[in-house]
Amino acid sequence: MSKLLPQPSDEAEAHSNRLCDHIRQDVAAQGGWIPFSRFMELALYAPGLGYYSAGARKFGADGDFVTAPEISPLFGRSLARQVAEIMAQSALHILELGSGSGKLAADVLDELERLDCLPERYDILEVSADLRERQQLLLLERVPHLSGRVHWLDALPEKISGVVIANEVLDALPVHLVRWRSWEGRGQVEVERGVASDGTHFIWQEQPLENHPLLEAAQKINVPDNYLSEISLAARALIVSLCERLQQGVLLFIDYGFGAGEYYHSQRSQGTLMCHYRHHSHDDPFFLPGLQDITAHVDFTAVAESAMDNGAQLLGYTTQAHFLINCGITDFLAESDPEKLRDYLPLSTQLQKLTSPAEMGDLFKVIALGNGMEQSLCGFSRGDLSRLL
């Protein structure tokens, strides 16, 4: 498989080797085995070494993958309309989790200014010092007159009102790998797939599932024998933390994933774990740790249940296509002159990528979780899929 992927520079490969040494030391310190969630955490977030903690370019044509804000400003402009509606019912405050290149923040602020609905504060929680610097530079370039409204945080605030935006955040949180299988007259048991090392390479190794929160979650899932999939305790914990802090407003999560019925479908017996390296997708998380993204699809049923168990309301769940169309993305295309093909055709192509079922339109979902909101949200006025959670 690795022969089919672009090979790294000597410098990049040396960086990956340093991270591998760091992970092997962690494996040894834990008795020779760590859960995959720990491996994923270190591969993505180990200080100075992990994929999101080091300085490699990750987004856009020169990176490893392209997110919706990188595809088109139409995404941020459409989202801004929903944000404006929420702020009108709550507070003039936006908190974005993991702002990537900063382009979404710039596009949202740009459109909110056109709507005369700017937030008093736009906070960004970013764990990567490198990405934080890039966000600051981009926002100074794009919206320098609004820079005084933007602040970077190191941790979640104690209280939140307004709008929380999280675009492709949940898929990058560490997941546990669980296998459900029959066992010598005991019926179905759950084992956790983790990571060991033979001194040179990382290898898969399974152990009886003893993590009580994980075991409890696994036992609630009904799947066929010899079924492998992911459970994200980290995503559930983030939702709980946000709901505990949410005074009035809405949490908006945009990500690829399914409700539990589709997530744990019998035909998806090898899970959803996926890696992204220089615009190539594959399923080997041991390939060049630190140089590739590692993700898993989002179980939106678990997200909704975690929120509702902690006092939040499910305000809507739909596809990205329905959400963007409900927010008026086609209006922006109509504003451009079809006879000026240089402007119109790129926007038309971008809209197609964001909304087509064959592109991002159906796989990506949007979920809204709120507290103290009285009116329905425009982004979910048509095409609500809450019944599938």
pLDDT digits (tens, 9 = 90+) for 218-230: 999 999 989 999 9
**How many Å apart are CA 7 and CA 9, to the nearest integer?**
7
Q: What is the pTM of this model?
A: 0.94
What percent of the chain lies above the pLDDT cut of 70? Answer: 93
Q: Write out pLDDT tens, residues 374-385.
A: 889 999 999 999
Mean pLDDT value of segment 74-101: 96
Predicted pLDDT at 188: 73
Structure confidence at residue 60 (pLDDT): 46
Torsion angle of the four alpha carbons 306, 308, 313, 314, in this order, in degrees rounded to the nearest 10? 60
Q: Which pLDDT score is estimated for 64?
A: 53
* pLDDT tens per residue, range 261-320: 999 999 999 999 999 988 788 999 999 999 999 999 999 999 999 999 999 999 999 999
Strand intervals (E) in 28-71:
34-35
Nearest partner of 268 among 277, 257, 281, judged by Cα: 257
Q: Token pair for residue 188? A: 């179905």
What is the C-alpha separation between 304 and 299, in angstroms, rounded? 9
> Could you state, in order of their start, the residue ranges of all structural domains in the chain?
2-33+174-231+270-292, 68-172+234-269+296-373
Does position 59 have pLDDT exceeding 70, yes or no? no
Q: What is the pLDDT of residues 333-380, one digit of tens each?
A: 877 665 555 667 888 899 999 999 999 999 999 999 999 998 899 999
For 116, the 3-state DSSP assignment is coil
CATH number of 68-172+234-269+296-373: 3.40.50.12710
Q: Tell me the C-alpha distance between 29 and 24, whole Å.
A: 9
Task: Give the range among 21-35, 51-65, 167-181, 333-347 with minimum mean pLDDT.
Answer: 51-65
Residue 93: what are its φ and ψ, rounded to 5°? -145, 135
How many Å separate Cα 377 from the centre of its chain?
Answer: 22
